[in-house]
Structure 1
Amino acid sequence: MIQHAMPLAATGLKIDWTRMPTYNTVMSVAAGAGLLLVVALGRQLLTSRRTITPDGWALAFGAVGFTLVTTGLHMTLTWPLAGQGFPFDNVIFGEPALAFGVFLLAAAVYLWKRGAELLGDDGVVRTARVASPISVFVFGMGLACFGIAAAGWTYTLFAAPPEEPISGEFAQWPILEASFMSGLYVLVGIGAVLFPFALRRPRGWMSPVVGVVWGLAGIAFLLFGGLNYFTHIGLIVNTM
């Protein structure tokens, strides 16, 4: 889904794809998978931590984190989507992906080196203490997600052009896709802002709220990213 600040003409759109490399498909899938992995590990820590296999979680977080760091870092530093007039998309997708990827890679290293410590009787408390310092950054990125969502609604971003299959059917109502994507960022932002406070009382009411909002956003990003493999290919074919 190439984003636009305003609806495009119904026909005649041509895009020079050599000037605008687009890979927010895999970024969306990885972000969704990463959110679901975080929720799943958190739930397992609170309910059945002795069944956790730290090496497996380290591999999963490492694979997803590497994908997000490499794509997010490239998008953050080189602004590939600015080639034909969409520089804001590099901020919307690149920077959050980079930050989330760094979080996941840090977790992967910890789980690989010290994961066995999670299995002890004080595993939940220890995990909360270990995650507490980085939660400041998580909180900050939650505020950033709110800012992205507000920009999406204010400037009607995220609307697909008519040439894009499926999503393009709603091109005449750009507020629909703007609301959908902005809503996902709001969900992620809610979880991120609550995260530092949930760590203070891991078994309190905030932890389930964080799990629900991140779980819903993770499912949506994962499915939407998978769908975009078809819609983006169709857009490329229709605009070459």
Structure 2
Amino acid sequence: MFALETGGLVIDWTQMPTYNTIMSLAAGAGLILLVLLGRALTSREKFSAESWSLAAGVLGVILTLTGAHMTLSWPFAKYFPFDNIIFGETSLGLGVLLLAAAFYLWRRAAVIDVSDDVGALLARTAQPLGVFIFGLGLALFAIAAAGVTFQLFAAPPEEPISGAFAAYPWIEAIFMSGLFALVGVGAVLFPFALRGFSSKARPGALQIIVGFVWGLSGLAFLLFGALNFFTHIGLIVNTMG
């Protein structure tokens, strides 16, 4: 798949399909979407379930398809098998959750839109998923710990921008692990933040924390994914041989 030659790193890209660019972009947008959904549920504006269903469905399809392909086919199996777990399985989990939300919001839009407390209704509906979301949070903590312990996520020097830190792998390891840990904090607290959630009440401390960590990490994943459309293309150009 790759080799070090006199001209530098050479990668056979036909043996390593990668698409964590769009995955990162969609995951970041998905986290931000959940934060904005929470804000919409506690605002005084009229709630439109169909519009939120559309947004969740678009992101859910992208993450489910790419996450499922990476999870089931393991495109990085020969050299970077851990990437299939880190990016594939987490994207699949978030994607399916977004698809489930999209289906429910679309299917029950007529009932949701006339509810006198949409926030409480959706919180009760989401409560059974809390166990899985809590588990995903623990998994994200494990990924963050693995990233720091084994210094994962480091870019090769041939990759523009990120490759400038190739000699210091702990920098990107801490950065990416920190993002996964932030998302994990929100996921672990999410089931507890659902308790007492209501469109008629101001957000509580747990709800504010979940919104903050998901908003911050979502923005970081969104921007990092957008940046990778340049850096990954540059890496391909620099390593085609």
TM-score scaled by length of structure 2: 0.92
Helix, strand or coil: the match of 1:81?
coil
Cα distance change of structure 1 residues 110 and 79 upon mapping to structure 2, 3 Å threshold: same
User: Equivalents in 2 of 1:126, 1:173: separation in Å?
Assistant: 48
Higher relative contact order (CA 8 A, sep 6+): 1
Residues 52-131 of structure 1 aligned to structure 2 (within 5 Å): 52-83=47-78, 85-119=79-113, 120-131=115-126
Deviation at 1:81, TM superposition (A): 1.4
The residue identity in structure 2 corresponding to 1:101 is G
Cα distance change of structure 1 residues 70 and 10 upon mapping to structure 2, 3 Å threshold: farther
Higher mean C-alpha deviation, range 86-95 or range 53-62 = 53-62
Quick check: 1:10–1:161 contact (8 Å CA) kept in 2?
no
Residues 110-189 of structure 1 aligned to structure 2 (within 5 Å): 110-119=104-113, 120-189=115-184
Deviation at 1:10, TM superposition (A): 11
1:46 aligns with 42
The residue identity in structure 1 corresponding to 2:8 is G
TM-score scaled by length of structure 1: 0.93
User: Equivalents in 2 of 1:132, 1:187: separation in Å?
Assistant: 21
Quick check: 1:20–1:82 contact (8 Å CA) kept in 2?
no
The residue identity in structure 2 corresponding to 1:236 is I
The residue identity in structure 2 corresponding to 1:91 is I
User: Equivalents in 1 of 2:129, 2:46: separation in Å?
Assistant: 26
Deviation at 1:53, TM superposition (A): 1.9
Matched, 1:235 2:235: yes
Helix, strand or coil: the match of 2:25?
helix
User: Equivalents in 2 of 1:193, 1:10: separation in Å?
Assistant: 48
1:3 aligns with none
2:27 aligns with 31
User: Equivalents in 1 of 2:100, 2:175: separation in Å?
Assistant: 30
1:71-127 residue CA offsets vs partner (Å, 9 max, x unmatched):
0000000000124x1010000000000000000000000110113433422222111
Stretches of structure 1 lacking an aligned partner (at least 5 in a row)? 1-7
Helix, strand or coil: the match of 1:197?
helix
1:37-70 residue CA offsets vs partner (Å, 9 max, x unmatched):
111011110223x422211111110010000000
Cα distance change of structure 1 residues 53 and 81 upon mapping to structure 2, 3 Å threshold: same
1:197 aligns with 192
> Aligned Cα RMSD in Å?
1.5
Identity %: 63
User: Equivalents in 1 of 2:22, 2:47: separation in Å?
Assistant: 27
Higher mean C-alpha deviation, range 107-116 or range 154-163 = 107-116
User: Equivalents in 2 of 1:54, 1:189: separation in Å?
Assistant: 27
User: Equivalents in 2 of 1:86, 1:113: separation in Å?
Assistant: 40
User: Equivalents in 1 of 2:136, 2:180: separation in Å?
Assistant: 11
Stretches of structure 2 lacking an aligned partner (at least 5 in a row)? 198-202
User: Equivalents in 2 of 1:194, 1:179: separation in Å?
Assistant: 22
2:200 aligns with none
